[in-house]
Chain A
Amino acid sequence: MTTFTLGIDVGGTFTDLVAFNTATGEQVIDKASSTPADPSIGVLNGLESIAAKLSMTRSELLEQTKLIVHGTTVTTNAVLTGRGAKTALLTTEGFRDILQMRRGVRSKEHLFNNKYVAPAPLVERDLRIGLKERTDSAGTLLQPVLEQEIVQAARHFKDQGVEAVAICFMHACANPTNEIAAAELMRNLMPEAFVTYSSEVSPMVRLYNRVSTTVMNAYVGPVLKSYIDRLLGALREQGFHKGELLIMQSNGGITSPHNVAEIPATTVLSGPAGGPVAGSAFARAYGREEAIVIDMGGTSFEASIIRGGEVTIRKEGEINRNHISLPMADIHSIGSGGGSIAWIDDGGILRVGPQSAGARPGPACYGRGGELPTCSDADLVLGYLNGDYFLGGEMKLDVELAERAIREHIAEPLGLSVEEAAYGIYTISNLNMVNGIKEITVQNGYDPREFPMVVAGGAAPVHAAMMARELDMTEMIIPKYSSVLCAVGMLASDLRHDYVKSFQHGWNEIELPLIEAMLRKSRQEGWQALGLEGVTVAKREVIIGIDMRYSGQHYEVTIEFDESILLAGDKAPIEELFHKEHERLYGFDLRHHELEVVNLRISCRGKQAVFELPRSEQAAEGEQAQPRGSRRMYDPAQRQSVEAPIYDGETMKAGTHVEGPCIVELITTTIIVPAGFELEYGSYGSFIMKDVAKGERS
């Protein structure tokens, strides 16, 4: 009997798990420490632990699991830390520096900053080799690849220990012949290396965009492959015989390991993409189509915006100034989390992060040898965390070690009490994260006061109230599963297979059946993949996208519509969609101008819907939550130490509410309710926190 579906999200500090019993509707969550050296170990540890919660062994659980959805940060981390595969590039002679030039732009943020230094490119210059091959802009092959040159390059790459090879030639999207030939030769010459070429990764015009995307793909390919192989091998060995593993992609959709192995760069924002997906599900439950989703983990803080109930998707993005032309959820990430290290700068100013103690050694209070004070140490000293009840008592936190780290490194040098120093760390962490939220709201012209905040990540509910107050936001939705929200999001995601085809034609020259024919193969592939992934036909959806422009423009507008419009065969409604979208975006249309098509897109989506929002148990008339004890806590709103009642969040019933200052403990997180705030348990497994004092003032 295969009844379980698992969501597993590997973060920098913790591996989050959620198990959903599709037969009974039972949902169980758990957290385990991440093991960055080999993240699959953390996954197996987590599985053992969550199985125990279900009174099963790990093997029993895996045998009864039909689907595991997995999000991973291995590719993101590889790019950010420069620890991807040793990568080489084959390109057209005369263009070896395109990757590093980044079109000669210093970055819009640094127009006047002469001290700015660009990050190093992912391929060093001596591993970027130009070949005497050439295709012209019309797609005419002028010079085929010379085998001898590739043989020489392969020899050089082998000498240098190259693990991955990116191939990107001029005008390969107009004619991929040379790329395919070079890739075949290279794969034969270097069978152990990961070889990828641009017309397969991102077949769109613009050499820089393609070379950067292809290099990124090569750079993360071996890392992701060895990770998935290791993980799947271990899972199979442990009893996961019949089930399927699916991987979260940056676009918020999920797909098979086979698919991500081809274009591993589609996972560079895999982990965090689950956050907004789940966040939108919880916000919708409370009738909110718009929300700001924040996620504070051990090492990073992510913020994203939900509008119209949908995760915001962008067609391209950048990681560490490496351009990537693949669809991704629009998520802003900064280096701030529970593990962020507090330090004093040259001017005697207290700073927090972006350096993190990570999972090992971790914060001082973990007792794993970490000696530097972190945000979590401050939270513990201030009484926000219960050293004996962390992760439901599975992990002990040592308050003395935390105090010592803060005293030695912060309090004494600054002449503060330990409590004052801890409050400083807490507040500065909040300000860092508030700036991250401003980046995506205020700086894009959104007023955060108009949004509710969906709070995710184990450390976030400790900080949410004071961050919200800083931003004048008055409403927070804190799912009971807050600490594993990304993992929940993995179960709430749709299966999704996106394809793009370069297709440059005047709109008048073509008829819709030609477009249908162009996309037929991709549609079949996506449709079949959905079938293999177990999505019934009724739950499949095919969305067509056309990148169009007025003839002579350089950039396209993507219009999306249901497949049925394409099959109806009438071009007029599609033209109308384009004119309208152009007018909306750019303030004008050119209705008498000719149109041209640049790319065709197709997205095959399968509604997964294995996850249902939990229904909370309703409180009886007049029933109120009773504290189970109290402890000293530094109330950040009143800036003084108080004796705060502690409530058991696991047993609170829908409709009951508590007033700050108080503490609500859950197994995997703690909610701090400062004075002036009120917390109510809602009907769909979320707490709703309101800034009552602020509401009265305004």
Chain B
Amino acid sequence: MDQITISVIANRLKAIGRQMGVVIERSAHSPLLVEGRDFSLGIYSAEGALIEQTEYIPILGYATGPGVQAVIDYFGEDVHPGDAFLHNDPFTGGNQLSDWKVIKPVFIGDQLVAWTAITAHQADVGGSVPGSYNPYATDLWQEGLRITPLRIYENNRKRRDVWDFVFGNVRLPIVADDIQAMIGGCTVGERELMDLISRYTIPVFNEAVEEIFNSTERMAKRIISEIPNGEYTARWWANDNGFDHEARMNIDVKVTVEDEQMTVDFTGTHPQTPGYVNAPMPVTVSSVMIAFFMLSEQEIAHNEAIKRCIHFVIPEGSMLNPRFPAASGFGNHLSDQIVSAVMLALSEALPGRVTAGWNPLLCSIMNGTDPRKQAPYVDIMINACKGGSGGTEGADGYDHIGLIASGGAISAQDPEMFELINPCFLHKFEYAPDSAGAGQWRGGLGVETIFEIQSEGSQASVFGDGAKAGMTAPGVLGGGDGSINSIVLEYPDGQQTEAHMKDLISNIPYGTVYKQMAGGGGGYGDPKKRPAELVAREVRYGVISAESAERDYGVKLADPANGIIDEAATAALRG
């Protein structure tokens, strides 16, 4: 088969994926999807092998396939043109109850040739807390509606009874609209795939897919063979299990590299926790893939073939592969710690490629009633949570990038849209000075966010980590740690409350001021090696204080406002 045909099909598949994504981004209703792009989509073979995926948020990428497989296994031959399926069950391949998958078969004539699938975070999925992040849940039924493989469209028509039942069990009507948009996205993908496959014929398409897999496998093997053979281990921590705010849970990882094969083994990791701090296996696998893509430092297609050379050992009953019926609402967010553990393990083998720590996520979901519209609202405070990434050889950390699980893809709400959508009035949303870990390549900056909650009786579900020293983004090779995360509520009566890392704060009165600091990333290398002019310029910009410049970087400023260096004092400080 000629290379041009293969590349046209490969790239066309990529374009179809992008087109499906645009549908969600442009036509969905929930701010999580439209403003935050908290979704991912893929094209699968008739047998369920991932052919192509577009990750708007990487953590959802490799976490979608098992759900597609669950639908295929469940329905077998009973799949017909015009069907659409829904799924979220973490114990048959789902990753989190909040992440619903719409899965649609693609037929040419009566032959099943492919599947399109979209996973997206829903604004509410039932359960005991609006927004469905419940730190006190001890099993999945308390978290939300469990959807095992379910047919919601038949013959291109809604199954009205099923539809009404499902959406009768979630709080917000926009969830139904968003599922409609996801079905639309899958339909656009289906349409384009039918066009593509008809043009090239089914055998040519299948052959091209196999060629694409082979080429990806070759590339993955080459990437793995660049890592010296050996066993690399690390331990990293997740903190606060929702019940015990002081609890520390270890993640143990052993990466074994043998020529062109790699095994990632989490034996020794903390057992599953009593609450929602548990990651179903698809989350763990997807997190490792993120680390792999970051460390490979080259473009590689994201499909099934990569898994031909990366193997997993994830003990059942551990926090990273919990047993039925564990709660797992926080699971996606353990990806911060999982990726950090893998990076840490490989830092010895790939020192020029690892980054210092990324700011571990601390975030909240707000829900309540918007008095302007007399309607419920739910939003994840993505803007406020996005801290900095870690510095790396040759590049500072990226400012305000957010959780590593999103690779910088999840966008902060635009401030105007934020106020239009939520009953919140923003006072401040700016880089936080001195938040970045110092380094020859400093960490990315975190942000400070202050807004007033203009609704009565809102609720904040807080979930995250990194709120104490020792838990923040670690510096490497002499670099400093990133700053601490915090969420503080100032009530109208003058009282102040600092949120725990997993927390549920209810009955928030109108006029409460919400203050959040999202920490910076860790620094890479000795800060005294950072060019003094660069330090001085950032003092002039106001993102590094004159005190920090002197203390951490050994740069003394004669005139901080104009960034003028005291050369003699600086020379003395820097030795």
Contact = CB atoms under 8 A, between A and B. Distances in A.
A125 B543 contact: yes
User: A103, A104, A110 — which one has the most chain B CB atoms within 10 A of its CB?
Assistant: A104
Nearest to B408: A106
Interface stretch (B184-192, B201-209, B225-233, B505-513): B184-192
A257 to B, nearest CB: 33
B174 A110 contact: no
A265 interface: no
Interface residues on chain B, size class: 35 or more
Contact of B401 (A97, A106, A582): A106
B29 interface: yes
Interface stretch (A35-43, A441-449, A486-494): A441-449
Nearest to A171: B416
Contacts of B381: none
A33 B205 CA distance: 50
Interface in A665-696: none
Contacts of A449: 4
Given A117-B395, A117-B396, A552-B29, A96 B412 contact: no
B256 to A, nearest CB: 22
Contact of B35 (A107, A552, A554, A587): A554
Contact of A586 (B27, B394, B428, B543): B27
Given A207-B415, A445-B192, A554-B31, A114 B185 contact: no
B187 A587 contact: yes
Contact of B407 (A106, A552, A586): A106
Contacts of B19: 445
A101 interface: yes
A108 B427 CA distance: 29
Interface in A92-141: 93-98, 100-101, 103-108, 110-118, 124-126, 136-138
Interface stretch (B10-18, B134-142, B549-557): B10-18
User: B23, B186, B296 — which one has the most chain A CB atoms within 10 A of its CB?
Assistant: B23
A208 to B, nearest CB: 5
B409 A111 contact: yes
A520 interface: no
Given A95-B415, A126-B540, A590-B177, A136 B425 contact: yes
Contacts of A555: 25-27, 34
Contacts of A118: 398
A518 B95 CA distance: 50
Contacts of B355: 114
Given A170-B415, A207-B414, A586-B185, A94 B12 contact: no
Interface in A437-475: 438, 442-445, 447, 449, 471-472
Contact of B7 (A94, A117, A137, A442): A442
A85 to B, nearest CB: 20
A568 interface: no
Nearest to A130: B430
Interface in A131-160: 136-138
A555 B174 CA distance: 15
Contacts of B396: 117
A111 B187 contact: no
Nearest to B290: A112
A205 B420 CA distance: 10
Nearest to B354: A114
A468 to B, nearest CB: 13
A95 B184 contact: no
Interface residues of A, number: 58
B188 A98 contact: no
A447 B296 CA distance: 30
A447 B28 contact: no
B304 interface: no
Interface string A588-600: 1010010000000
Contact of A136 (B23, B181, B419): B419
B293 A97 contact: no
A171 B25 CA distance: 23
B568 interface: no
Contacts of B22: 585
A325 to B, nearest CB: 12
Contacts of A255: none
A307 interface: no
A443 B407 CA distance: 22
A586 B192 contact: no
A111 B12 contact: no
A98 B413 CA distance: 11
Contact of B541 (A98, A101, A125): A125
A104 B37 CA distance: 12
Given A445-B192, A553-B27, A585-B23, A114 B184 contact: no
Contacts of B417: 205-206, 554
A447 B386 contact: no
A585 B184 CA distance: 9
Contacts of B392: 114-115
B11 to A, nearest CB: 4
Contact of A445 (B16, B35, B408): B16
Contacts of A557: 26
B414 A444 contact: no
A356 interface: no
A472 B27 CA distance: 37
B416 A114 contact: no
A553 to B, nearest CB: 6
A209 interface: yes
B29 A104 contact: no
B542 interface: yes
A552 B8 contact: no
B395 A104 contact: no
B101 interface: no
B126 to A, nearest CB: 20
Given A115-B395, A137-B420, A587-B23, A105 B409 contact: yes
Contact of B11 (A114, A209, A442, A471): A442
Contacts of B426: 94-95, 170
A485 B206 CA distance: 43
B389 interface: yes
Given A104-B408, A106-B401, A554-B31, A96 B177 contact: no
Contact of B408 (A111, A115, A472, A550): A111
A116 B398 contact: yes
Given A137-B419, A443-B15, A586-B185, A110 B430 contact: no
B400 interface: yes
A209 B415 CA distance: 11
User: A95, A125, A137 — which one has the most chain B CB atoms within 10 A of its CB?
Assistant: A137
Interface in A531-557: 550, 552-555, 557
User: A94, A114, A124, A136 — which one has the most chain B CB atoms within 10 A of its CB?
Assistant: A114
Interface string B358-395: 00000000000000100000000001001001101111
A402 to B, nearest CB: 33
A396 B386 CA distance: 59
13 contacts: A97-B447, A115-B297, A124-B541, A171-B416, A208-B414, A444-B15, A445-B19, A447-B12, A553-B27, A554-B421, A582-B27, A586-B181, A588-B187
**A-B CB proximity, top 6 nearest:** A106-B408, A587-B187, A588-B184, A445-B15, A94-B428, A587-B184
Given A114-B389, A442-B11, A449-B4, 14 more contacts: A95-B426, A96-B430, A105-B410, A106-B401, A110-B408, A125-B541, A206-B417, A207-B416, A444-B15, A554-B34, A582-B27, A586-B185, A587-B185, A588-B187
Interface of A: 93-98, 100-101, 103-108, 110-118, 124-126, 136-138, 170-171, 205-209, 438, 442-445, 447, 449, 471-472, 550, 552-555, 557, 582, 585-588, 590, 593
Interface of B: 4, 7-8, 11-12, 14-16, 19, 22-23, 25-29, 31, 34-35, 55, 58, 174, 177, 180-181, 183-188, 191-192, 196, 290, 293-294, 296-297, 353, 355, 372, 383, 386, 389-390, 392-396, 398-402, 407-412, 414-417, 419-421, 425-431, 447, 450, 540-543
